[in-house]
Amino acid sequence: MNFKLYNFTPDSIEVPLSQVLRYMGCPADAGEEMTSLALRAIGGFKPDYKACCRMAEVVTTDDGAFIGTLFAPGRDIAKNLENCQRAVVFAATVGLDCDRQKTRAAVTSQAMALALDAAGSAAAEALCDRLCQDWKNEFKKIGLFLRPRFSPGYGDMPLDFQKPLLEYLDAGRCIGVTLTNGMLMTPTKTVTAIAGLGGAGCERDGECRGCGKADCIFKLT
Amino acid sequence: MDFRQKLKTDLIYWDGATGTMLQKMGLLPGELPETWNVKHPDRVTQIHREYFEAGSHIVCTNTFGASSLKYEAREAEKLIAAGIDCAKRARDQAVGGQSDRYISFDIGPLGKMLQPMGDLPFERAVELFAGMVKAAEKCGADLIDIETMNDSLETKAALIAAKEFSALPVIVSNVYDDAARLMTGADPETMTAILEGMGADAIGMNCSLGPRQMLEIVPRFVKCSSTPLIFKPNAGMPRSVNGRTVFDVDADGFAEIAARAVEAGVRIVGGCCGTTPEFIRKIVERTRGITPVCAEPKNLTVVSSGVRSLSIGSRPVLIGERLNPTGKKKLKEALRAGDMQFILSEAISQQEQGAEVLDVNVGLPELCEREVLTKCVTEIQAVCDLPLQIDTSDPEAMEAALRAYNGKAMINSVNGKSESMQAVFPLVKKYGGVVVCLTLDENGIPETAEGRFAIAEKIVKTAETYGIGLKELIFDPLALTVSTDPSAAKTTLDAIELIKTRLGGKCILGVSNVSFGLPRRDIITSAFFLMAMQRGLDAAIMNPASTEMQKAYHSCLALTERDAGCADYIDFIGNMPQESVPAAEKTAAGEKPQQDGLKGAIIRGLVQEAARLAETELTEKEPLEVINELIVPALDQVGRGFEEKKVFLPQLLMSADAAGAAFEKVKEHLPKKDETGREILLATVKGDIHDIGKNIVRALLENYGYSVIDLGRDVTPEVIACTAAEKNIKLVGLSALMTTTVPAMADTIKLLREKAPNCAIMAGGAVLTQEYADMIGADFYGKTAMDAVRCAGEVFAQ
């Protein structure tokens, strides 16, 4: 794999209800009413799951890492890719319909708009989890481990890095992901990330370790 | 041979991938391909030459992304000139291949999303494309191709630029996914309507799909399009073999499917990602001897939005009339106040009530129609995917709205006056559209059906001279008031029949006019509607909320073999509001009637129940009592629960939705907005397109009786400061989600202090903290929406 495109049908990615509720700011046992709202939100937009990725050699430096010709700035990514020989750079999106339905719901029901936003986030995460799981399985066969994904905006990696990252993937052309002047992506429910690959020493699952933010409500334990 | 001439009869071979070839020659990921026109012109020329030699008639220049968004304007021009030069040299050097060789100036997407989904303004996109076209015009290309477009609106912007700054033929091809839709939602029928309407010389598909999948979509174009069809698929899907990217269809397999596509009606064939000169050579060999099939002219009357199309003719089309301020006090107020919320909810509710097209008219003497109409069209399209009918008598406003409109609009209207036709027909020709033709002229409205028919005939003849066919016209024989003229209805109905039978034209009516001055207008209007449908009416501008009209419509379909198994009728009756059911039992599906009144309904978030109970309360209580004794205490209770973490944010919002519905009812009994003097300005700052937090704050503030001016998202400091100063606002709320947009918030605050020194500023949003808010000089920091309510309370108590 040095470059690959992915298309998933809506029913091939399961959007976990518990995650939607979490992004809505509710506990898993928030009651029938919230569950029903979350379920309507999951069914309230047509996901158009697409992703593209490129794999290349990693060379870390003091202030960042090269993944092929792409330089990812920041000490945190350098640390994240320590001991990795290669890395997967990817962009994954749930498509525009979530944004469209959210805009429409914002006219008629703020609760639904919020729930759609949560469902879109959960769908994007589910898509990334699926991709990473597939890669994990694929590379395990050749004795490589996939490190947890790291996105622009994490730690000291600047958001401006979205631009070279998306250009490196030709993501505009391949999956229709573009940037606004403020470095936000459209469709808004899109994730870009880098996931390192390496042998022994890379097998540990990071799960938020290495992030300095202590009060994050989304911290994975 | 002239390209347009060749396009009339011949099968034309396009080239294969440029990017794939450049990568093979060493283009790195992320490197800008157009720079090679200057850095390695020999290599670019070689690629073009190989395609010409393989048998391509058309070679497209290496200028896909050469806009001044990616390059300095001068640099872009230089790369374009160099790119065209490479293609010219290749044409001169190529040995063998076709004798007719064309250089196509290649235009790809700008790489930024247009508003409203993204932040690139439509006219800026046109300007960027125009820059490319102007540069190319100087260098002598033979045609322009607009390709790999995944957004209908951006495609339109590029086509407008190509047409405005060049007379060259323009061929347009879009990227479809395996569900046959563009990323932004349009299907082949929709794109055909838009692109044919604007006069593209050829239309079709490229990229994304492999040849087999793309072949499946060909018949859909063949069925609806009268324009030569482009077929330029990828060589299948990319995959990796030993570290190299390969595609899963080889040249022979590709050529085989290309031949089937040509037999099915394709007229321009080539390849996209993964294809090489070898593919083109095989296609030429395999298709030699196949006689190309020319597209039959289709006599379809089609309008579209950017997502769906609607063919008029098989059954009457319902056009929602409620976005027209004539006689509508609330809409007038909303338009004057710039209250988009009201306008958008009217659009959505008409769609939910069964409208298939929405008429949009904003004609009020004190408004700048050009600006307001364009804004309404754009914003309605962001929340509603129905085709719109742009309704104005001001040609300038019409043109502005037609440009910005995503799709092929209905245009309301032209009439038989020379002046009107001179103003409107050029717009129809340029932007595409189905135009409503009123059968009146310089001498007024003819009293007879024959007279109105004669005007229709005159309009058809004049339209022809502009190159506009009968299928783009829909005639309005004018429903007049039967209470003042007893023969009014009969004349109109007779005119429908004449236009339908003698002219073969389509008819539309604003049916409601017939009943002015009569009691229970819906009854007589619906009877007239039924009679008109019986005579062949194709579309009615009407109120989709009228049960009588819906009854007539659904019955008519069932009675005229246009509703198989009466399924539509049965469905309609199943969903029809039960008039005989007492109001107390009328609650929305899933909403259980509650015992504890309006307060309980708000706390539980029951929207329709809250609205109904508010109406009941208003029969006994003063509006302010309903707000202060019921709505506000209910919200306070939910708000307290939220702060104590017993109530979750979505529940708070459901209560806000319910309180909003109740408040709407109360508002009808309240003095006008500005008399309350509690206006708050809200905006998401420049650079930020997230508005969910701001919307939540707005909903709550409105519930507490504040009148909110919502400037939307991505708003410049100037607009916020000027509006605050102009309207003498006491409190401004600013929202930002991303750390990158906090500086924009700081700039906004600075400018507000200068221009509107008396207003207080509250700031909120995911990244903000009290420290941040203090640092950038906000007066208040709101962590939650309830904090904003408290802040407003403090400011207005002073």
Is the CB of A33 less than 8 angstroms away from the CB of B656?
no
Contacts of B769 in chain A (CB under 8 A): none
Which of B240, B649, B738 lies at the smallest CB-CB distance from A182? B738
Which A residues 84-113 touch B at CB under 8 Å?
95-97, 99-100, 102-104, 106-111, 113
Q: Smallest CA–CA separation between A133 and chain B, in Å?
A: 18
Residue B265 lies in a domain: yes
Residue B402 lies in a domain: no
Per-residue pLDDT band for B339 (boundaries 50, 70, 90) equals confident
B539-557, pLDDT tens digit by residue?
999 999 999 999 999 999 9
User: What is the C-alpha separation between B543 and B520, in angstroms, rounded?
Assistant: 14
Nearest CA in chain A to B150: A176
Question: Widest CA span of chain B, in angstroms?
Answer: 92
Q: Smallest CA–CA separation between A91 and chain B, in Å?
A: 14
Residues in chain A: 221
Tell whether omega for the bond before B757 is within 30 degrees of 0, i.e. cis: no
The residues that bridge with A70 in the sheet, in sequence order, are A67
Choice among A26-30, B145-149, B671-675 with the minimum mean pLDDT: B671-675
Write the DSSP assignment of B403-432 as a string of letters: HH-SS--EEEEEESSHHHHHHHHHHHHHH-
Q: Cβ of A4 under 8 Å from any chain B Cβ?
A: yes
- pLDDT in the model for residue B766: 77
Q: Cβ of B183 under 8 Å from any chain A Cβ?
A: yes
B557 and B428 in a common domain: yes
Question: In terms of pLDDT, which residue wins out, B98 or B674?
Answer: B98
CA A199 to chain centre: 23
Q: Cβ of B738 under 8 Å from any chain A Cβ?
A: yes
Core vs surface per residue B39-61: b (16+ CB within 10 A) or e: ebbebbbbbbbbbbbbbbbbbbb
Share of chain B above pLDDT 90, in %: 76
The residues that bridge with B733 in the sheet, in sequence order, are B682, B762
Is the CB of A104 less than 8 angstroms away from the CB of B185?
no
Which domains, and CATH codes, for chain A?
A: 3-198 (3.40.109.40)
Which H, E and C letters describe B344-409, residue by residue?
HHHHHHHHHCCCCEEEECCCCCCCCHHHHHHHHHHHHHHHCCCCEEEECCCHHHHHHHHHHCCCCC
Residue B643 belongs to domain with CATH number: 1.10.1240.10
B395-411, pLDDT tens digit by residue?
999 999 999 999 999 99
Helix (H, G, I), strand (E, B) or coil at A53: strand
User: What is the C-alpha separation between B792 and B75, in angstroms, rounded?
Assistant: 52
B555 and B413 in a common domain: yes
**Domain finish residue from B232, B264, B287:** B287
Residue B789 belongs to domain with CATH number: 3.40.50.280
B190 and B279 in a common domain: yes
Q: What is the pTM of this model?
A: 0.91
Query: Are the CB atoms for B68 and B128 separated by under 8 Å?
Result: yes
Residues 6+ apart with CB under 8 A from B246: B238, B239, B240, B274
Residue B627: DSSP 8-state: I
Residues in chain B: 798
Nearest to B468 by CA among B506, B431, B428: B428
Q: Cα angle vertex B469, ends B465, B470, to 5°?
A: 120
**Domain finish residue from B667, B693, B711:** B667
Q: Cβ of A59 under 8 Å from any chain B Cβ?
A: no
**Domain finish residue from B649, B667, B685:** B667
DSSP H stretches of helix in B692-759 = 692-703, 717-726, 742-755
Q: Cβ of B699 under 8 Å from any chain A Cβ?
A: yes
Residue B569, both tokens? 């009728």
Is the CB of A96 less than 8 angstroms away from the CB of B605?
no
How many Cβ atoms are within 10 Å of A174's Cβ, its own excluded?
A: 22
Query: Are the CB atoms for B689 and B713 separated by under 8 Å?
Result: yes
Can you say whether the dihedral through the CA atoms of B552, B557, B560, B563 is positive or negative?
Answer: negative
**H-run or E-run covering A111:** helix A110-140
Tell me phi and psi for residue B73, to 5 degrees: -55, -45
B636, amino acid identity:
D
Tell whether omega for the bond before B121 is within 30 degrees of 0, i.e. cis: no
Q: Smallest CA–CA separation between A62 and chain B, in Å?
A: 23
B91 and B155 in a common domain: yes
Residue B278 belongs to domain with CATH number: 3.20.20.330
B172 and B79 in a common domain: yes
Residues 6+ apart with CB under 8 A from A158: A73, A74, A152
Residues 6+ apart with CB under 8 A from B731: B680, B681, B759, B760, B761, B762, B791, B792, B795, B796
Q: Smallest CA–CA separation between B147 and chain A, in Å?
A: 11
Nearest to A20 by CA among A129, A127, A121: A121
Q: Residue B350 to residues B327, B358, B555, B704: CA-CA distances in angstroms? A: 17, 8, 20, 28
User: What is the C-alpha separation between B354 and B502, in angstroms, rounded?
Assistant: 32
CA B603 to chain centre: 37
How many Cβ atoms are within 10 Å of A163's Cβ, its own excluded?
A: 12
Can you say whether the dihedral through the CA atoms of B54, B56, B57, B58 is positive or negative?
Answer: negative
Query: Are the CB atoms for B176 and B217 separated by under 8 Å?
Result: yes
Residue B585 lies in a domain: no
B210, amino acid identity:
G
User: What is the C-alpha separation between B88 and A36, in angstroms, rounded?
Assistant: 63
- pLDDT in the model for residue B585: 39
B547 and B442 in a common domain: yes
User: What is the C-alpha separation between B722 and B641, in angstroms, rounded?
Assistant: 38
Residue B530 lies in a domain: yes
How many Cβ atoms are within 10 Å of A32's Cβ, its own excluded?
A: 7
First to last CA, chain B: 80
B615 and B540 in a common domain: no
Query: Domain containing B542: what range?
Result: 302-319+386-394+407-572
Nearest CA in chain A to B344: A107
- The complex's ipTM works out to 0.90
Residue B357 lies in a domain: no
Query: Are the CB atoms for B730 and B739 separated by under 8 Å?
Result: no
- B330 by Cβ neighbours in 10 Å (0-12 / 13-18 / 19+) ranks as middle
Helix (H, G, I), strand (E, B) or coil at B701: helix
Write the DSSP assignment of B472-539 as a string of letters: GEEEE-----TTT-TTHHHHHHHHHHHIIIII--EEEEEGGGGGTT-SSHHHHHHHHHHHHHHTT--E
Is the CB of A115 less than 8 angstroms away from the CB of B177?
no
B706 and B621 in a common domain: no
B626 and B529 in a common domain: no
- pLDDT in the model for residue B116: 87
B512 and B626 in a common domain: no
Which of A30, A70, A172 lies at the smallest CB-CB distance from B111? A172
Which H, E and C letters describe B267-335, residue by residue?
EEECCCCCCCHHHHHHHHHHHCCCCCCCCCCCCCEEEECCCCEEEECCCCEEEECCCCCCCCHHHHHHH
Q: Cβ of B386 under 8 Å from any chain A Cβ?
A: no
Residue B456, pLDDT above cutoff 50: yes
Q: Smallest CA–CA separation between A64 and chain B, in Å?
A: 18
B646-669, pLDDT tens digit by residue?
888 888 889 888 988 898 888 788
Is the CB of B245 less than 8 angstroms away from the CB of A2?
yes
Helix (H, G, I), strand (E, B) or coil at A76: helix
User: What is the C-alpha separation between B534 and B775, in angstroms, rounded?
Assistant: 70
B579-604, pLDDT tens digit by residue?
544 444 334 444 444 557 999 999 98
Which B residues 631-670 touch A at CB under 8 Å?
648-651, 653-654, 656-657
Structurally, how many domains does chain B consist of? 4
Residues 6+ apart with CB under 8 A from B356: B310, B317, B318, B319, B386, B387
- pLDDT in the model for residue B664: 84
Query: Are the CB atoms for B648 and A25 separated by under 8 Å?
Result: yes
Per-residue pLDDT band for B437 (boundaries 50, 70, 90) equals very high
B225-263, pLDDT tens digit by residue?
999 999 999 998 877 666 667 788 999 999 999 999 999
B195 and B94 in a common domain: yes
Q: Smallest CA–CA separation between B296 and chain A, in Å?
A: 33
B345-399, pLDDT tens digit by residue?
999 999 999 999 999 999 998 899 999 999 999 999 999 999 999 999 999 999 9
Nearest CA in chain A to B242: A1
- pLDDT in the model for residue B51: 98
Query: Are the CB atoms for A167 and A111 separated by under 8 Å?
Result: no
Residues 6+ apart with CB under 8 A from B609: B587, B588, B591, B593, B594, B601, B658
Question: In terms of pLDDT, which residue wins out, B670 or B37?
Answer: B37
- pLDDT in the model for residue B29: 87
The residues that bridge with A64 in the sheet, in sequence order, are A61, A73
How many Cβ atoms are within 10 Å of B527's Cβ, its own excluded?
A: 15
B162 and B31 in a common domain: yes
Is the CB of B238 less than 8 angstroms away from the CB of A69?
no
Is the CB of B113 less than 8 angstroms away from the CB of A99?
no
Which of A2, A33, A104 lies at the smallest CB-CB distance from B240? A2
Which of A26, A54, A100 lies at the smallest CB-CB distance from B650? A26
Mean pLDDT of chain B: 92
The residues that bridge with B269 in the sheet, in sequence order, are B13, B231
Contacts of A52 in chain B (CB under 8 A): none
Residue B494 belongs to domain with CATH number: 3.20.20.20
B701-759, pLDDT tens digit by residue?
988 888 899 898 889 999 999 999 998 999 999 998 777 778 889 999 999 999 999 99
- pLDDT in the model for residue A213: 65
Tell whether omega for the bond before B483 is within 30 degrees of 0, i.e. cis: no
Residue B24, both tokens? 């093979």
Q: How, if at all, do strands B357-360 and B266-269 pair?
A: unpaired
Q: Smallest CA–CA separation between B245 and chain A, in Å?
A: 6
Q: Smallest CA–CA separation between A203 and chain B, in Å?
A: 23
- pLDDT in the model for residue B323: 97
Contacts of A183 in chain B (CB under 8 A): 738, 740
Helix (H, G, I), strand (E, B) or coil at B228: coil
Question: In terms of pLDDT, which residue wins out, B312 or B798?
Answer: B312
User: What is the C-alpha separation between B369 and B362, in angstroms, rounded?
Assistant: 7
The residues that bridge with B560 in the sheet, in sequence order, are none
- pLDDT in the model for residue B579: 56
Residue B627, both tokens? 């707000």
- Walking along chain A (221 residues) 10 residues at a time, the average pLDDT comes out as 86 95 90 93 96 95 94 94 94 96 92 96 97 93 91 90 95 93 92 92 63 64 50
Q: Cβ of B244 under 8 Å from any chain A Cβ?
A: yes
Residue B747 lies in a domain: yes
Residue B332 lies in a domain: no
Share of chain B above pLDDT 70, in %: 96
Nearest CA in chain A to B240: A1
Residue B663 lies in a domain: yes
- pLDDT in the model for residue A155: 87
